[in-house]
Amino acid sequence: MEERLPLLAPVAAAPLPVRVLGRIVDWTVIAIGAVMATMVFVNVCLHLVHMDLAWVTEFGELLMVWVTFLGGACAAQRGAHMTITEFIDKLEPPARRWADAAVQGACLVMLLVLVRYGWSLVDGNWGNQLTVLQWPMAIQYMGMAVGCSLMAVFVAFDVWQILRGVPREQRYPVST
């Protein structure tokens, strides 16, 4: 019998709230991607008969912001962001642990800066409207604020695991 691959990439064991949050983010990204693909397909088909839905472009841009930052959160929960580890890999395990903690700590600080300014952008743009949809522009900016907030949760959990001594192989299982 052929082994079935999981639909979603595996994630390491985590407390229930972190796992549930991660799955919600995963399925939200999948749903947004499906909506975007459907909208573009329908609009391309309409172009064949010289019609156009003007709101599709603007809504697609809004969804692209959301899927980009939520996708970043999906990657953060799996340790899948690009890393260059030539120097860190040469360290002995205790030093590697502290180097990993320092790198993830720096990432967490940067994410917290983005969270702070992201929510500030959201707060300041409720009065501005998207041109075609006439929705508050804050909804588009909220994708960055929500995505960075979620990334910060996953990175903070990773820092906590690093400080507890959990090695990378256990924090981020490799999919087959």
Give the per-residue pLDDT at 89.
Answer: 86
pLDDT value at 12 more than 80? no
Q: What is the structure's pLDDT at 61? A: 95
Helices (H), 16-137: 16-48, 54-78, 93-124
Summarised one tens digit per residue, pLDDT across range 45-75 is 998 998 888 899 999 999 999 999 999 999 9
Instruction: Please tell me the distance from the alpha carbon of residue 137 to that of residue 134, in angstroms, as a whole number.
Output: 8
Which residue has better confidence, 111 or 167? 111
Paired residues of 129 in beta bridges: 136
Residues 6+ positions from 176 with CB-CB distance below 8 Å:
5
- Rounded to whole angstroms, how far apart are CA atoms 85 and 174? 17
Phi (first) and psi of residue 123, to 5 degrees: -60, -40
Span 70-128, pLDDT tens digits: 999 999 999 888 888 888 889 998 899 999 999 999 999 999 999 999 999 999 999 99
- In the predicted structure, residue 136 carries a pLDDT above the cut 60: yes
